[in-house]
């Protein structure tokens, strides 16, 4: 049996950085990875998808060249194998960088294999037994496969599969109208595929305010993407031209025929084959590891970080989990997950940057609010770029003046939102934003006027 000061199961976003802190402290640490170092972000998430988004944007902008006075001799052609090679190289570079970093740590041992608990402080990897007083789960998640009728009878892809697809589908049907599905929808439409998005709910990205949801739908439909929301009869069957997807039992065409199917209906944690029962670690009904505000499980000496704990579903929240645990273990801190301000982005084009509460969430919380909004048609940077779709929106507490949340659906929105995020973390009122002198021409320069235009609603 090999003894370490710590064992980390999973080399996603939190694991390697935590290994680095143990290494730097002179503590021995084993990090166990059964597949690819880097987790979802590096291998099937952020790195490959955002690289593909960049290629799709290049194709889209090239087609619009005449609007900017740039004339092409012929139509735009997509070399999908070349697009995929570029994406895969970005992934490989990042993965190999993480591997080299871990392998270069003198006190860290990278072990390849599937880790399963034997007890609360013992883990088996193949024929090898590892033990440590501290064990950290960073096992991530994977695409959920819903029990739709006929799903086992037809071929389909998840995000892990489609990031390796080196051809453009004739007609891609995406089941799931949320963040992952919409990014692939626009991406493949720009690559030249016909695309239909099938969403069971009444609208896309249902957690967003309705006006944001409708604006996103308008952006996608303007590019020729078909949206079938309210699809209460989702089912599958083989068809001579691919797969028939049932979408509605009452209105419109009852089926959509697709050459390829992408399932994007949520995620599930990779906790079902870790032997958590042998360690006594509790999970919830969906399989997420239960953790407290410091990310500790119910078993002393075991923590859970990243997607597997259900406290965040993003690369940046996983990394923040590492920061919380490291600060508390090594720096005498008392950092908590509940202190984290939620922020995220939807990487369609133009992107959606979000932080804090939506208007609907603020209302449900019973707060008296002020709301300001401005269409991107009135944002100089958007006009100059010829990208005026979307809007800006801010929600503030009418009694305290504190900003509760904001959204920027528009060019540069995923970057400009950080100005508001920083203000919210600093705990300052919207007057600070009102008095700011932003750079011209930028997206952020409109925030003071949006604040000035806030109204009670």
Residues with catalytic annotation?
440
185 three-class SS: helix
DSSP letter for 283, please.
B
Which pair of tokens denotes residue 38?
Answer: 């880097």
419 three-class SS: helix
**Closest to 375 (Cα-Cα) out of 452, 455, 457, 450:** 450
Which pair of tokens denotes residue 229?
Answer: 């929301």
DSSP 324-346: HHHHHHHS-----GGGPPPEEEE
Residue 32 falls in which region: left (phi positive, over 0), alpha (psi -120 to 50) or beta: beta
Sign of the CA dihedral running 136, 139, 140, 145: negative
**Contact (Cβ atoms closer than 8 angstroms) between residue 446 and residue 392:** yes
Which run of H or of E encompasses 109?
strand 108-112
The upper half-sphere exposure of residue 152, i.e. CA atoms within 13 Å in the direction of its Cβ, equals 1
Give residues with Cβ within 8 angstroms of 69, minimum separation 6. Answer: none
The alpha carbon torsion through 177, 179, 181, 187 (nearest 10 deg) reads 120
Which pair of tokens denotes residue 291?
Answer: 């953790």
**Contact (Cβ atoms closer than 8 angstroms) between residue 15 and residue 41:** no
């Amino acid at each position: 049996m090999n003894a370490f000061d710590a064992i980390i199961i999973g080399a996603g976003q939190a694991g390697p950085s935590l290994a680095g802190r143990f290494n730097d402290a002179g503590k021995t640490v084993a990090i166990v990875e059964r597949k690819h170092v880097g987790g979802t972000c590096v291998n099937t998430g952020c790195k490959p998808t955002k690289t593909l988004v960049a290629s799709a944007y290049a194709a889209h902008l090239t087609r619009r060249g005449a609007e900017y006075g740039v004339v092409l001799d012929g139509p735009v052609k997509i070399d999908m194998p070349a697009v995929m090679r570029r994406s895969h190289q970005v992934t490989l570079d990042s993965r190999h960088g993480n591997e080299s970093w871990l392998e270069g740590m003198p006190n860290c041992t990278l072990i390849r294999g599937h880790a399963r608990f034997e007890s609360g402080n013992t883990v088996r990897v193949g024929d090898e037994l590892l033990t440590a007083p501290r064990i950290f789960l960073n096992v991530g998640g994977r695409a959920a496969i819903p029990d739709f009728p006929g799903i086992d009878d037809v071929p389909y892809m998840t995000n892990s599969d489609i990031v390796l697809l080196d051809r453009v589908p004739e007609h891609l049907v995406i089941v799931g109208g949320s963040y992952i599905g919409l990014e692939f929808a626009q991406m493949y439409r720009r690559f030249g595929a016909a695309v239909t998005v099938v969403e069971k709910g009444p609208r896309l990205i249902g957690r967003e305010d309705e006006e944001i949801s409708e604006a996103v739908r308008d952006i996608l439909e303007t590019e020729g993407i078909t949206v079938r929301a309210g699809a209460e009869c989702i089912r599958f069957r083989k068809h001579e031209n691919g797969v028939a997807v049932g979408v509605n039992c009452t209105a419109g065409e009852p089926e959509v025929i697709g050459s390829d199917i992408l399932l994007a209906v949520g995620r599930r944690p990779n906790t079902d084959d870790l032997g958590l029962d042998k360690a006594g670690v509790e999970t919830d009904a969906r399989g997420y590891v239960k953790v407290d505000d410091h990310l500790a499980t119910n078993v002393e000496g075991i923590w859970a970080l990243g997607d597997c704990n259900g406290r965040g579903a993003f690369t940046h929240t996983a990394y923040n989990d590492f920061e919380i645990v490291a600060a508390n273990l090594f720096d005498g801190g008392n950092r908590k997950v509940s202190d984290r301000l939620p922020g995220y982005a939807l990487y369609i084009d133009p992107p959606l940057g979000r932080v804090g509460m939506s208007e609907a969430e603020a209302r449900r919380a019973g707060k008296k609010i002020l709301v300001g909004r401005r269409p991107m048609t009135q944002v100089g940077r958007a006009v100059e770029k010829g990208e005026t779709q979307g809007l800006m929106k801010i929600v503030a507490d009418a009694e305290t003046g504190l900003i509760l949340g904001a959204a920027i659906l528009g060019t540069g929105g995923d970057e400009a939102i950080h100005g508001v995020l920083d203000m919210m973390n600093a705990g300052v009122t919207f007057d600070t934003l009102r008095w700011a002198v932003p750079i011209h021409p930028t997206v952020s320069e409109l925030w003071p006027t949006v604040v000035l235009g806030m109204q009670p609603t």
